[in-house]
Chains A and B, each alone.
Chain A
Amino acid sequence: MEWRQRYAISGIMLYLLCIVFILFMTFGQDVQGPVWVVLYWIIMLFTAVNAVAKSFLQEGQGRMLYYYTLASPQAIILAKMFYNMGMMVLMAILAAILHGITSGYPIVNTPSFLLAMLLGGIAFAASFSMISAIASKASNSGTLMAILSFPMLIPILIILIRISLNAIQSDDLRVNLQDLVYLTALDVMIVGLALVLFPYLWRD
């Protein structure tokens, strides 16, 4: 159902390109490993806010009602989440490539960084979809989106940055195993919670 607005994806890609270019202009090519990692996740955070926030905020009242008659709430939130997860993982890879071209690529342990990208993208997409559903019920939802979601994402970001910092230092996947397991559990938990809670938001 999101495919009707393909230009939105191109818009987000351009947004990504702009951020990376601005960072390139301000930091130049000489970026240290830890700074690179932190910049990367901040890029991801803002891309996620812009990309996923739209998933419910953009839908008009009429279309919501149409979906309501069409599918069960679980199906709708799952569909939204899967779409957003796919998009976030795509954006994560794209951001890594762009950021890598402009400021170098300090990651030694690519598999664990890739896993972090995958699990982080899923966590971002799932929690933002849910928050966006909550914010869409209120007025001035744009501001609400940010203040509701940023505090929730800080723990996820802390874990992600830890994994990535380890990925700069050693090429042993086992160092990150514990964090990756935590992150997977977190993903499962967020999706599960969303499945349980979304039906209450949905009936209006």
Chain B
Amino acid sequence: MLKHLYSNWWKGLAVIFLLYTFSFGLLNKVPNVVILHETIRNLYYHVPCWFAMLFLMLVSLVYSIKYLRSGRLMYDIVAVALLRVALVFGVLGYLTGMLWGNYIWGDLISWILGDTKTLGTAIGLLMYFAYFILRGSIDDEEKRARVAAVYSIFAFTLLNVSINVVPRLKSSLHPGSGGNATFTVYDLDSGLRMVFYPAVIGYILLGLWISSVLIRMQILHYKKNNITV
């Protein structure tokens, strides 16, 4: 993956997918579902945020493991950059979710506690905010990278417990659990699917793009100080 850091084709792809998402997402025909109505279009803008966040976290986990195995500073830079962008997507996911929740569930914030999915992601965000504080409080670069990688692996595993296992135990307001139908039940094959999957790919590519910029900035920073990464 790292060898594509400087190539342009996938960035063009991101632009195309995102343009497609934002134009056709507003134009195409959506199924008329009770309660949701036109807000169902938020599916294209809200859900991909979470997909992108989880994807970036997963890739970051891979690089954390790679760092522990090899000790190359480069892998640490990649892992941090991906997590930074993942957090931004997480916050965006919350903001778009709040807008949606405001219309569907009644208010902006109270459902964070009522719903285990939102609670799980809140926990995840707290964990990764703590990750950056942990990094900030270690001075030695090599030690910081090592401790942060260990924490990141530990945190990601427990985060998976809180978003994959615990929601199955409790009821949830979200589709797909607690008796609510998954969105596959609503006519997703014709209208929604056409925009939703490109949206997910577009968001993920955008996330990778932003993190590649962060990575390149870090590389330049190290180059300036004559450190090879």
Q: Pick the residue among B68, B126, B143, B157 that contacts A151 (CB under 8 A).
A: B126
Q: Is the CB of A201 within 8 A of B146?
A: yes
What is the distance, in angstroms, from B52's C-beta to the closest C-beta of chain A? Answer: 21
A127 to B159, CA, bound (A): 13
Q: Which of these binds chain A: B7-15, B133-141, B202-210?
A: B133-141
Q: Pick the residue among B126, B146, B162, B170 that contacts A200 (CB under 8 A).
A: B146
Q: Is the CB of A193 within 8 A of B157?
A: yes
**With A130-B154, A134-B151, A197-B154 given, is the CB distance from A155 to B161 under 8 Å?**
yes
Cβ of A30 < 8 Å from any Cβ of B?
A: no
A197 to B146, CA, bound (A): 10
What is the distance, in angstroms, from A190's C-beta to the closest C-beta of chain B? Answer: 8
Q: Type the 1/0 row for B206-227, where 1 means its CB is closer than 8 Å to any CB of A.
A: 0000000000000000000000
Q: Type the 1/0 row for A132-145, where 1 means its CB is closer than 8 Å to any CB of B.
A: 00110111110010
Cβ of A68 < 8 Å from any Cβ of B?
A: no
Total of A-B residue pairs, C-beta within 8 Å: 87
Cβ of B165 < 8 Å from any Cβ of A?
A: yes
Q: Pick the residue among B124, B147, B165 that contacts A138 (CB under 8 A).
A: B147
Chain B: interface residue total (CB-CB under 8 A): 32
Q: Is the CB of B134 within 8 A of A148?
A: yes
Cβ of A67 < 8 Å from any Cβ of B?
A: no
Q: Is the CB of B158 within 8 A of A140?
A: no
Q: Is the CB of B143 within 8 A of A204?
A: yes
**With A138-B138, A139-B138, A155-B161 given, is the CB distance from A197 to B153 under 8 Å?**
yes
**Pairs A–B under 8 Å by Cβ, sample size 22:** A130-B154, A134-B134, A135-B134, A138-B134, A139-B138, A144-B133, A147-B129, A151-B127, A154-B119, A155-B123, A155-B158, A158-B116, A159-B166, A162-B169, A178-B169, A179-B169, A189-B157, A193-B154, A197-B68, A197-B153, A197-B154, A200-B149
Q: Measuring CB to CB, which residues of chain A are less than 8 angstroms from any residue of chain B?
A: 127, 130-131, 134-135, 137-141, 144, 147-148, 150-152, 154-155, 158-159, 162, 178-179, 182, 186, 189-190, 193-194, 197, 200-201, 204
Q: Measuring CB to CB, which residues of chain B are less than 8 angstroms from any residue of chain A?
A: 68, 116, 119-120, 123-124, 126-127, 129-130, 133-134, 137-139, 143, 146-147, 149-151, 153-155, 157-158, 161-162, 165-166, 169-170
Could you list 8 further interchain pairs (A-B, Cβ under 8 angstroms) beyond the known A154-B123, A155-B161, A182-B165? A140-B137, A144-B137, A151-B130, A152-B158, A155-B158, A193-B157, A200-B150, A201-B146
